[in-house]
Structure 1
Amino acid sequence: MCVCVCLLQMFLAAMGFVYFAKAFQGSYMKSSVTQIERRFDIPSSLIGFIDGSFEIGNLFVIAFVSYFGAKLHRPRLIGAGCLIMAIGSFITAAPHFFQGPYKYETSISHFSASNDTESILPCLTNGSLTHDNEIPTVEIQAGCEKAASSSLWLYVFLGNMLRGVGETPVMPLGLSYLDDFSREENTALYMSLVQTLGIMGPVFGFMLGSFCAKLYVDIGAVDLDTITINYKDSRWVGAWGLGFLLTGGVMLLAGIPFWFFPKSLPKQGETETEKKSNVLEGEQDRFIPDNNKHSTAPNKPASMAVLAKGSGWASKFHLPMFIGIMNLPAVALGIITGGFIMKKFKLNVLGATKICTGTSLLAFSSLLIQYFLQCDNSQVAGLTVSYHGAPQVSYQQNTLISSCNMGCSCSLKHWDPICASNGLTYASPCLAGCQTSTGDGRDMVFHNCTCIGESPLPFANMSSVLGQCPRKSDCDYMFKFYMAVTVIGAFLSACGATPGYIILLRTINPELKSLALGIYILIVRTLGGIPPPIYFGALIDRTCLKWGTKQCGGRGACRIYDSGAFRLVNLDWQKFSIFIHTFPIIAITIQLVNSFILFLSV
């Protein structure tokens, strides 16, 4: 008996580690999306498609694995899934090492200077800078064609899809294995412990993402002193591929223990007499009766019909990727709180349903509060404000031209932001009308900028430095208030996670546990995993004020967004989230009505 208990505890620990590893892997992928978008110069809609490839891979095999996996060796299937996820991470990292040096768009090299002398004029009147209609040279065209034909982002898509395939058996088979061989009163606590360990994964995933994002993509291969941008610049690309090697190694390690667990275990703390008694009691306590008691396996079409009644509400517990690490402790605390309440008060399915309904309503309220929180645009001359500092959001590039830079022959394609002493950001030194520059690399300073001098805004001098100006201080205050609201909402939403799993496991035929969890994942992936990233990515593209330019021409990644329009897109996403939070309440109510009708018919 001690050996069986130890094996169950070891399986619990292994499940906790694999939940941590897959959350670590997934959160790093989320944190690297921006770097991948910039490295391949692709729009947000395509990034959404790449991000959704995880769910696409998951959907390919979820029904098969969930239905037939329970009949096979569940721990070994989980181990195989971990191996596939590790391979997916390694494939995702491959383009980082296959691609040539990263070349970001810039015109700074045209007027770089030494530290002691002034350079040639940034604001040229002879038109020697690259014009919008200039045809790239043969060498540049050849390099562009090679880069375009490689389509190395497909490796990222394939690797992420393989991660989705490998993740499929982890939750339905792992949680059903725990529920089958643990005491009924311990199941909720065990699940909450596993999920809590999983929530710790994003903490390290985001930390790793932040660390790799601050390392230049070609670190070790280029002289960093020649780089004129830093990690805060929208053209910066971090060493995103390095993190995927580490997350893949962690996932490979997490899958090893599952190859050594047995196919089944004796029920925790149960004698043969208790086993027979619990089987009879279990058949009476469940809402959904077993109409095939004399058959050895359930009929699949009938099983699908039974699951269709109660699987919609489960989508509530697909927690979104929270902004920053601040939300993660709240999510962990919420999950463990829900499991503790279930164990402390020994709540049945009805009690779990009440918790789910209450947390859904409270989470709904926190989403409504976020509607009233907003932050103004960064002040960029010609895009979000006029050259005189008046609010003026423009999606037209011709507004970058003003009387102060009209004679400078500036290119409207370049994005080399500089911060002036008047607090405005200008798209390039040329568009700021700067006459001279000193310094080199990141230390360049531009002087005698005519647009600064003509602005009625107060300024110390007519000089500017590389990079965008920081936002106003009230934006920092608003972000802190927004984070407080999201932390509370995260805690409330997470409190209903474990009771939600208990509802699913206690209202279903024991033989359908794995399939039920699989259908839960299927609906979550279908509703929240594939369409939203693509759809909202396309909407985000429509809020772009300034697009980058690829080496051979054509639109690259976005450099700056309209915060007001972006907020409206985020509001649409919140409406979708509210629907996902509200829909389970309706579905649970319908399920309770069905159960009441079933009770009257007995």
Structure 2
Amino acid sequence: MASEEIEASKFLKDKEAGINVADDEKRLNSSDTTCGFSIFRGPALQRFATAHMFVIVYGIASCFLAMAFTYFTGTITTMEKRFNIPTKISGLITVGNDISTVFSSAFLSYYASRGHRPRWVALGLIIIAIFCLLMLTPHIFYGPGEEALRLTEEYGMSESFGASLNITEKNDSLCHEKNSNCLERAGDYTPIVLFFIAQFIGGIGCSLFYAPGLSYMDDNSASSKTPAMLSWSSFLRMLGPAMGFSMVSLCLRLYIDPFKKPLITTNDPRWMGAWWIGWILLTFILTISAVFVGMFPKEMPRAKARRLKADGEEDIPLAGRSFQDMLDSLKRLASNKVYVYNMLASILYLFGYMPYWIFTPKYIEIQYRQSASTSTMATGTWALGFSAAGILISGYVISKYKPSARAMAAWNFVVDYLTVAGMLCYVLVGCDESDRANSLSIVPTGDSCSASCVCEYVYYAPVCSPENITFISACHAGCTDKAINELGKTIYTGCRCMGNVSSIISLSNVTSLASQSQIAMDGACPVDCNKQFLIFLAVMCFLKFVGATGRSSNLLLALRCVPSKDKTFSLGFGSMVYSVLAFIPSPIVFGWMLDSYCLVWGKTCSSKGNCWIYDTKSLRYTMNLVCASLIFLGSFWNIGVWYHAKDMKVFDEDEKTVQAKQSDDIELKEKPNDVVTKKK
């Protein structure tokens, strides 16, 4: 009965104010609130015009977008090997999307804030699909490369037709004569340029995807439901990295040319997987996702009804938005202490945590001697599974218990300190055998035993001595000949840089060789770092879970600390600032850091290519301590957020509570005498 009186009173108020109810219904059922586009419209699609359906579709699209950028992260080391790219250059390629974000994010998010945001999001997905297509083009133009083809059976068969056995065996792995020509490989920067252009275009797509999409989701749902929707959307997005790393793992198990039979296994550091296959699939699924996202209306019918009843605000035409309006919005954001302090805390956190997002597979490969496939699978399954669990649990807790803004800021402070503690654990989790193997592998390079050889520009082709010492190549070991044993394995003989021949044990079928020959086996010496790798994986999963629990609260603070009219612009401007101060410099700085600890470079006559062996111990200490220090400094800004967020309102009152208050007001107006009597 009370609800009927409320509706009746609203109708009378509208009538007294001269508002035509029929006109309201027409406005609510206009093209702005209708699903579809062009000929794809109708009542059948209109039932999908709900906030929950947008969360699902947008979350799935976020999943595919995250999948694309994660796929790039997982294939970085393979692309470095294929195109001889140093890590600092790959770090520069990585920031290409952040550079474009700097120039596009604030402007695009501002002008898209009151436009048809789902279609802006769809345009962003199409641009990301173009990014995937451009990432594929270097393989189309250059193929798998001669280095990879040399390690296939088909290459050896084709070479044997035009050369004698002696010429075939005298390859780049063995000793060259003095004053021989170095390995001629002209430095071609075209693949690097193509990768950078692809990343640059991808950043524009991300600018159009995230800020308009998140603000559209928040504006078209009740504030009490926003935490749950954000957590579910983030959960669906977190499936993207898991799926991306899984795809990387599957693709890298295939050789870069799947139609040829490789002579090495996936555990060999020279293995190059089929990094290019995944880009084909990603191009198609992102294009299809753009179609589904673009079908949503400019504004949900229920959301428009709530907005019109609240303040009667109408849309400002895109042409009517001036540059001065944007400056006014910027001034409001600059004077918002919660927004500024939260941004400063996030900048330092992102700067310190960025190398773990980009270089984690590479870190696992060089620190714990795992294959590229295993490294990406571990990063993309277990670790991201814990991240997804953290997002879901935090979303449930926030939705159920509705903590205050101060409580959320305090939890972000706790997350920072737990992250710092985990990074200090990374420093302690090292593999001594790997450190020893890396340091020993470079000792013989300047030795007199290989002085008669020219080994500086040979291919990286490690061999293992009987003392379990890895040499960069048979040339660096001073070997002169090679043979194939009955097991099909390559054995190098006459290796003058090896230890005493009496220490050789259990090498099969070497008795047929000269008794005084010093022998090496093809491939790097085995190193067991599995125990340390499992400890590292456990700590990483813990950090992923803890860090994910702070994402929903941090995003909710960012959305609620600004006025509704500045929401989309604040997200876009934040993306621009994060790109300038965190996303761009961090990969470059840490890429340079990785290169500074390189022990063995893949040199050519004209350039220095990718790194093959690192000083893992020094790298582990420096990288983790620097990251922990940055996040520790950022935690103090969260104290400022906690202090200034004391009066910030995160959740609106429930609809039931509002209705109850309205019904009480009606009863008080209708029965004032009864109330006075009761009070007396």
TM-score range, shorter chain: 0.7 to 0.9
Q: SS where residue 482 of structure 2 aligns?
A: strand
1:426 counterpart = 2:471: yes
1:72 counterpart = 2:115: yes
Give the equivalent residue in structure 2 for 1:384.
439
Kept in 1: contact 2:346–2:634 (CA 8 A): no
Give the equivalent residue in structure 2 for 1:181.
220
Provide the alpha-carbon RMSD of the alignment: 3.8
1:523 counterpart = 2:577: yes
The CA deviation at 1:503 is: 1.0
- TM-score w.r.t. the length of structure 1 is 0.81
Kept in 2: contact 1:536–1:573 (CA 8 A): no
The CA deviation at 1:428 is: 2.0
Between the aligned partners of 2:122 and 2:411, the Cα distance in structure 1 is: 34
Structure 2 regions of 5+ residues with no counterpart?
Answer: 1-27, 29-42, 314-323, 362-378, 508-517, 650-680
User: Given residue 413 of structure 2, which amino acid in structure 1 is its aligned partner?
Assistant: T
CA 1:580/1:269 → structure 2, altered by over 3 Å: closer, same or farther?
Answer: farther
Q: SS where residue 257 of structure 2 aligns?
A: coil
1:497 counterpart = 2:536: no
The CA deviation at 1:442 is: 7.6
Kept in 1: contact 2:423–2:624 (CA 8 A): no
CA 1:567/1:481 → structure 2, altered by over 3 Å: closer, same or farther?
Answer: same
CA 1:587/1:251 → structure 2, altered by over 3 Å: closer, same or farther?
Answer: farther
The CA deviation at 1:536 is: 1.4
Give CA deviations for 1:210-263 in whole Å, capped at 9, x if unaligned: 22223333343xx43xx5444433333322222222222221122111221111
Give the equivalent residue in structure 1 for 2:147.
104
CA 1:34/1:10 → structure 2, altered by over 3 Å: closer, same or farther?
Answer: same
Give the counterpart of 2:492 among 441, 446, 453: 446
User: Given residue 474 of structure 2, which amino acid in structure 1 is its aligned partner?
Assistant: P
Give the equivalent residue in structure 2 for 1:203.
242
Between the aligned partners of 1:442 and 1:101, the Cα distance in structure 2 is: 25
Kept in 2: contact 1:122–1:436 (CA 8 A): no
Q: SS where residue 492 of structure 2 aligns?
A: strand
1:43 counterpart = 2:86: yes
1:152 counterpart = 2:185: no
User: Given residue 188 of structure 1, which amino acid in structure 2 is its aligned partner?
Assistant: P
Kept in 2: contact 1:360–1:582 (CA 8 A): yes
Between the aligned partners of 1:464 and 1:106, the Cα distance in structure 2 is: 23
User: Given residue 483 of structure 2, which amino acid in structure 1 is its aligned partner?
Assistant: T
Kept in 1: contact 2:179–2:454 (CA 8 A): no
Between the aligned partners of 1:500 and 1:531, the Cα distance in structure 2 is: 23
Kept in 2: contact 1:183–1:267 (CA 8 A): no
Kept in 1: contact 2:103–2:576 (CA 8 A): no
Kept in 1: contact 2:175–2:478 (CA 8 A): no
Kept in 2: contact 1:418–1:429 (CA 8 A): yes
Give the equivalent residue in structure 2 for 1:289.
none
The CA deviation at 1:521 is: 2.0
User: Given residue 439 of structure 2, which amino acid in structure 1 is its aligned partner?
Assistant: T
Give the equivalent residue in structure 2 for 1:588.
641
Kept in 1: contact 2:492–2:521 (CA 8 A): yes
The CA deviation at 1:25 is: 0.3
Give the equivalent residue in structure 2 for 1:367.
423
Kept in 2: contact 1:46–1:537 (CA 8 A): yes
User: Given residue 261 of structure 1, which amino acid in structure 2 is its aligned partner?
Assistant: F
Give CA deviations for 1:71-90 in whole Å, capped at 9, x if unaligned: 21110000000001100110
Give the equivalent residue in structure 2 for 1:543.
597
Kept in 2: contact 1:12–1:178 (CA 8 A): yes
Between the aligned partners of 2:424 and 2:565, the Cα distance in structure 1 is: 41
User: Given residue 24 of structure 1, which amino acid in structure 2 is its aligned partner?
Assistant: M
Q: Which has the larger radius of gyration?
A: 2
Between the aligned partners of 2:593 and 2:99, the Cα distance in structure 1 is: 21
1:312 counterpart = 2:348: no
The CA deviation at 1:549 is: 2.6
Kept in 1: contact 2:177–2:452 (CA 8 A): no
Give CA deviations for 1:520-562 in whole Å, capped at 9, x if unaligned: 3223322321111111111211211111133x45322111111
1:212 counterpart = 2:265: no
Q: Which moved more, 1:36-45 or 1:302-311?
A: 302-311
Between the aligned partners of 1:485 and 1:455, the Cα distance in structure 2 is: 44
Kept in 2: contact 1:424–1:469 (CA 8 A): yes
CA 1:354/1:553 → structure 2, altered by over 3 Å: closer, same or farther?
Answer: closer
Between the aligned partners of 2:77 and 2:488, the Cα distance in structure 1 is: 22
Between the aligned partners of 1:22 and 1:578, the Cα distance in structure 2 is: 27
CA 1:101/1:357 → structure 2, altered by over 3 Å: closer, same or farther?
Answer: closer
Q: Which moved more, 1:175-184 or 1:439-448?
A: 439-448
User: Given residue 70 of structure 1, which amino acid in structure 2 is its aligned partner?
Assistant: S
Give the counterpart of 1:246 among 252, 261, 281: 281
Between the aligned partners of 2:327 and 2:608, the Cα distance in structure 1 is: 54
The CA deviation at 1:28 is: 0.2
User: Given residue 83 of structure 1, which amino acid in structure 2 is its aligned partner?
Assistant: I
Q: How does 1:103-502 map to 2 (within 5 A)?
A: 103-104=146-147, 129-130=175-176, 133-135=179-181, 144-145=185-186, 148-149=187-188, 151-220=190-259, 223-224=260-261, 227-267=262-302, 275-276=309-310, 299-307=328-336, 309-310=340-341, 311-315=343-347, 318=350, 320=354, 321=357, 324-325=379-380, 326-376=382-432, 378=434, 384-385=439-440, 399-402=444-447, 405-406=449-450, 409=453, 411-414=455-458, 415-434=460-479, 436-439=481-484, 443-447=489-493, 449=495, 451-454=497-500, 459-461=505-507, 463-472=519-528, 475-502=529-556
Give the equivalent residue in structure 1 for 2:74.
31
Give the counterpart of 1:562 among 584, 599, 615: 615
CA 1:412/1:89 → structure 2, altered by over 3 Å: closer, same or farther?
Answer: same
Give the equivalent residue in structure 1 for 2:33.
none
Q: Which moved more, 1:412-421 or 1:371-380?
A: 371-380
Q: SS where residue 83 of structure 1 aligns?
A: helix
Kept in 1: contact 2:349–2:630 (CA 8 A): no
Kept in 2: contact 1:59–1:525 (CA 8 A): yes
User: Given residue 556 of structure 1, which amino acid in structure 2 is its aligned partner?
Assistant: G
User: Given residue 331 of structure 2, which amino acid in structure 1 is its aligned partner?
Assistant: A
Give the equivalent residue in structure 2 for 1:599.
none
Q: SS where residue 470 of structure 1 aligns?
A: coil
User: Given residue 80 of structure 1, which amino acid in structure 2 is its aligned partner?
Assistant: L
CA 1:230/1:352 → structure 2, altered by over 3 Å: closer, same or farther?
Answer: same
Between the aligned partners of 2:451 and 2:418, the Cα distance in structure 1 is: 59
CA 1:301/1:447 → structure 2, altered by over 3 Å: closer, same or farther?
Answer: closer
Q: SS where residue 459 of structure 1 aligns?
A: coil
Q: Which moved more, 1:14-23 or 1:552-561?
A: 552-561
Kept in 2: contact 1:20–1:199 (CA 8 A): yes
Between the aligned partners of 2:307 and 2:94, the Cα distance in structure 1 is: 49
Give the equivalent residue in structure 2 for 1:283.
none
Give the counterpart of 2:561 among 484, 487, 507: 507
Q: SS where residue 169 of structure 1 aligns?
A: helix
Between the aligned partners of 1:194 and 1:178, the Cα distance in structure 2 is: 10
CA 1:448/1:131 → structure 2, altered by over 3 Å: closer, same or farther?
Answer: closer
Q: Which moved more, 1:82-91 or 1:480-489?
A: 480-489
Between the aligned partners of 1:314 and 1:365, the Cα distance in structure 2 is: 18
Between the aligned partners of 1:424 and 1:128, the Cα distance in structure 2 is: 18
Give the equivalent residue in structure 2 for 1:571.
624
Kept in 2: contact 1:416–1:427 (CA 8 A): yes
The CA deviation at 1:271 is: 6.2
Structure 1 regions of 5+ residues with no counterpart?
Answer: 280-294, 387-392, 597-602
CA 1:166/1:317 → structure 2, altered by over 3 Å: closer, same or farther?
Answer: farther
Between the aligned partners of 2:65 and 2:151, the Cα distance in structure 1 is: 42
Give the equivalent residue in structure 2 for 1:93.
136
Between the aligned partners of 1:81 and 1:585, the Cα distance in structure 2 is: 32
Kept in 2: contact 1:123–1:435 (CA 8 A): no
The CA deviation at 1:101 is: 5.1
Kept in 2: contact 1:380–1:427 (CA 8 A): no
Give CA deviations for 1:306-339 in whole Å, capped at 9, x if unaligned: 3563432344775652651221011101111111
